[in-house]
Amino acid sequence: MRYGHSGSDIEGRFNWKLIRVIWPYLLEYRTRVGLALACLVLSKAASVSGPFLLKHLVDNLTPETGAKALLVVPLALVLAYGFARFSMILLGEIRDTVFGRVTERAMRRIGLQVFEHIHNLDLDYHLNRRTGALARDIERGTNGISFLMRFFVFNIAPTLIEISLVIGLLLFNYGPAFAAITLSSVVLYIAFSMITTDWRTRFVREANQADNQASTRAIDSLLNYETVKYFTNERFEASRYDQSLAEWETARRKNRLSLLSLNTGQALIITLAMTAMMWLAAIRVTEETMTLGDFVLINAFMMQLFVPLNFLGFVYREIKGSMANIENMFALMDLKPKIYEQANAPDLVLDRGQISFESVSFHYRRDRQIVDCISFTVEAGQKVAIVGASGAGKSSLVKLLFRFYDPQSGRICIDGQNISSVNPDSLRRVIGVVPQDTVLFNDSIFENIRYGNPDASDNQVMEAIRLAHLQHFVDQLPEGADTLVGERGLKLSGGEKQRVAIARTILKRPAILVFDEATSSLDSRSERSILAAINAISQGHTSLVIAHRLSTIIDADNILVLDQGRIIEQGNHQQLLETQGRYAELWSAQLRHSD
């Protein structure tokens, strides 16, 4: 299901694409919807009958009524009136309870759909997103759709039906004057509410935008707590957050003042209409063309009419507000990933695990080439290392292989299959990546490792901990492997986080292993032990290693030296030293540094 939006849809007219969002859920639970509608009809019938019972009750409370009738008839009418009022309330509660399942299921599925859609968007989107604003947009969007579902079905149409019934009854029983006053006041009320609410919508949008900005500022600051402390910028962060809150306060004040204008205008229209109706009814009573009960009936009808009408104004305001709330979610659902996935693409069939880059070129921006016509092959079971200065394009090759991005030209194949033509999930299942910057979930060490294979047994997780040389560290912790790592793994050191990432990849047991400077945060002793584990699990597997420390890749079958996106040298460690080229310079520089 696709969503869409446009500014004109939101501001000027109803966005009918909402019906495409809501309709499937109404069809799925049509029995519940039908039962709820039945309760609605009965509730409205009880509501309309109330004023008539009240009329007869007043007319029977006259001195001319006999003693017996004075006791029996009004009592029966009082009980009937009470039953009608109670039935109206009870049926409304039953309606809401029955229909609640429909809205809750819609919120659940739409929330899940948005969540899945966000995960399907490409890496570029996630590098530029604002997490706080995104979370607010999703929350407000799903709540807005739930509101629209409930009030489209149970408030707008029923209120219009009730208005039509009241006007018809007044016209039939009391003549065109009463019906004309009622109709004109209703039309004026609805027109005023719609025009004023359309004007107010921009203040709702401004408030939402300011709220998103404040939320994003707070979350960014809290996620970077240590950086804030390093530079003693608590006051600076508080000042920026307060500035965002001040913008939110201003937007909310405008929203509140505009609401005052709307409510005042609505109250004036209601007051004028009821005054005119009561004045006309009072004249008819004095002329004895109407009874006192008729006067009470008209008064009850007007009060009963303007309660749902006032609520209709509230519903329209909330609908416009909800439309403003969900427009960002609509825009989000309209985003399409830049990584094109072919319909019914076949799964990758892994045979040997050979990787080949064939004349691959890639750039993030047109004015800066990152990878420039690179070609190389990693034979099945080989260990190939890629070295070079920062910005040479090493990590970009990993992102291309994992298909976070597609190259602008050339192709990447695994066992002869173009990775852009296969199911991305099947591709990523066979590749295990240990990134340079490891980010962990706010969960235990054990569960962070099990994330590599959620179906793994406890024994398999503990084996991965042992192979990643985490056992000694885990044994020293009071809570062992159940120790929480904190948000983004902040409670662990860089080396500890990388070992957790290595254990997670070990547990995945992929056919192709990629290490993106995986030992860069480890001391020499830990590095040696981790390299031993990596070498052990890499036996018989195709391995691609992005390396900063050349000492970690001296056993590689082939080493590629990158410079400005091009391969300038390749060969094994000994061959590259003998050529006395760029690799030999890097090696000599690192030897001097280690001394």
The pLDDT of residue 85 is above 70: no
Output the pTM of the full model: 0.61
Q: What single letter denotes the amino acid at residue 213?
A: Q
Sign of the alpha-carbon torsion through 92, 95, 100, 105: negative
- Listed range (80-94, 327-341, 473-487, 551-565) with the worst mean pLDDT: 80-94
For the chain, the first-to-last Cα distance in angstroms comes to: 62
Q: What is the mean pLDDT of the chain?
A: 77
Alpha-carbon distances, residue 83 vs 61, 89, 113 (angstroms) = 19, 10, 45
Q: What single letter denotes the amino acid at residue 93?
A: E
CATH topology of domain 355-594: Rossmann fold (3.40.50)
Mean pLDDT of 3-20: 47
Structure confidence at residue 412 as a pLDDT band (50, 70, 90):
very high
d(CA 21, CA 14) in angstroms, rounded, equals 14
| Residue bearing tokens 């004007």 | 199
% of the chain at pLDDT higher than 90: 5
d(CA 37, CA 41) in angstroms, rounded, equals 6
Mean pLDDT of 59-84: 56
**Exposed / middle / buried, residue 135 (Cβ in 10 Å: 0-12, 13-18, 19+):** middle
Q: Where in the chain is the domain with CATH 3.40.50.300?
A: 355-594
Alpha-carbon distances, residue 169 vs 49, 51, 56, 259, 282 (angstroms) = 11, 11, 16, 33, 19
In terms of DSSP H, where are the helices of 287-386? 292-334
Structure token pair of residue 381 = 């079971």
- Listed range (111-120, 142-151, 395-404) with the worst mean pLDDT: 142-151
HEC-encoded secondary structure of 3-14: CCCCHHHHHHCC
% of the chain at pLDDT higher than 70: 76
Mean pLDDT of 288-295: 74
Selection from 207, 215, 223 nearest residue 241 by Cα:
215
Alpha-carbon distances, residue 232 vs 106, 185, 228, 238, 491 (angstroms) = 46, 62, 6, 12, 20
pLDDT at 66: 47
Sign of the alpha-carbon torsion through 38, 43, 46, 48: negative
Highest mean pLDDT among 216-230, 260-274, 326-340: 260-274
Q: Roughly what angle, to the nearest 10 degrees, separates helices 131-151 and 176-223?
A: 160
Q: Where in the chain is the domain with CATH 1.20.1560.10?
A: 8-334
Contacts of 339 (CB under 8 A, 6+ apart): 122, 403, 404, 405, 406, 424
| Residue bearing tokens 């159940």 | 482
pLDDT at 492: 78
The CATH class for the domain spanning 8-334 reads mainly alpha
Exposed e or buried b per residue across 474-494, where buried means at least 16 C-beta atoms within 10 angstroms of its C-beta: beeeeeebebbbeeebeebee
Structure confidence at residue 115 as a pLDDT band (50, 70, 90):
confident
Q: How many CB atoms lie within 10 A of CB 72?
A: 12
Selection from 251, 110, 151, 262 nearest residue 198 by Cα:
262
Contacts of 452 (CB under 8 A, 6+ apart): 432, 464, 503, 504, 505, 506, 507, 508
pLDDT in tens, 435-489: 877 778 888 888 888 888 888 898 998 988 888 878 888 888 888 888 888 766 6
User: In the β-sheet with 417-418, what is the strand arrangement from edge to edge?
Assistant: 368-378, 355-365, 409-414, 417-418
Asked if 213 contacts 133 with a C-beta cutoff of 8 angstroms, the reply is yes
**560 membership: H or E segment, kind and range:** strand 558-563
pLDDT at 6: 38
Asked if 406 contacts 420 with a C-beta cutoff of 8 angstroms, the reply is yes
| Residue bearing tokens 């890499």 | 538
Structure token pair of residue 466 = 């042992």
Structure token pair of residue 231 = 């530079």
Where is pLDDT greater, at 54 or 489? 489
pLDDT at 414: 92
Mean pLDDT of 25-30: 70
d(CA 96, CA 90) in angstroms, rounded, equals 10
